[in-house]
Amino acid sequence: MDGNGRWATRRYLPRVAGHKKGMDALRACVRRCGERGVRVLTVFAFSSENWNRPPEEVSSLMELLAMALGREVPQLKGEGVQLHFIGDRRALSDKVRAGLAQAEADTASNERLVFNVCFNYGGRWDIAQAAARLAAEGRPITEHSLDRALGLAHVPDPDLLIRTGGEQRLSNFLLWQAAYSELYFTDKLWPEFDAAALDEAIADYAARERRFGRTPEQVTPRAGRRAA
């Protein structure tokens, strides 16, 4: 969800105003995913590297998370959303940690949309923690066991990965899981990414051919044949 800071700066507002607006965009996106029949949505809300931002911005993002737990969770619960928080929780306050666990427990039986919020998350951190856990348990490290020990083991790999804000890189997001994801980059800043923008991204995805290493003919048997 890139571009909150620029959205605010362009309006002579403090960066935190962009994050607040970003929260509105996120709420709309969750709702649209539910309407469109998307079963899993995973967002990058705070990266392991975001600790390097000015302390006041870091605290405002922490406050936003705490506020979201109070304000948004009851609504999400009513909308059939199952919440998961993915990332290293050790750096978070006891109160926030308890809030995350409570939100997950309160929404665990929901089935309409699985909503993963990656917070204090990094793709490399996830792979390292999974490998360390397997090693500590004396289990062999294989593609399958590592996959099952990652923070997102409860959902399939993402079909579509959207990055807003004009940059074309993964920035340590879902490094393992995005191996075969379709990538979609848009110049729109995250606070401007509305339901119509999501529809556009889904339409772009729907027009792509996914081959997973196979040939076009294997994927679509008639592809490549000349008309008789």
19 binds ligand FPP (CB under 6 A): yes
d(CA 84, CA 79): 15
d(CA 64, CA 23): 8
Residue 50 falls in the annotated catalytic set: yes
Q: What number of other Cβ atoms are within 10 A of residue 138's Cβ?
A: 6
d(CA 39, CA 24): 20
Chain positions 41 to 80 lying near ligand FPP, rule: CB under 6 A, are: 45, 50, 61, 64-65, 68
165 binds ligand FPP (CB under 6 A): yes
Q: Are 121 and 44 in contact (CB under 8 A)?
A: yes
Local structure of 183: helix, strand or coil: strand
Scanning the structure block, which residue is given the tokens 């967002």? 43
As a 3-state breakdown, the chain gives helix, strand, coil percent values, each rounded to 5, of 50, 15, 35
Which x/- pattern, by CB under 6 A, does the window 84-123 give for ligand FPP? ---------------------------------x------
Choices 22-30, 150-158, 180-188, 201-209; region in contact with ligand FPP by CB under 6 A: 22-30
d(CA 49, CA 62): 14
5 binds ligand FPP (CB under 6 A): yes
4 binds ligand FPP (CB under 6 A): yes
162 binds ligand FPP (CB under 6 A): no
Which x/- pattern, by CB under 6 A, does the window 175-214 give for ligand FPP? ---------------x------------------------
List of residues contacting ligand FPP (CB under 6 A): 1-6, 19, 22-23, 26, 45, 50, 61, 64-65, 68, 117, 165, 190
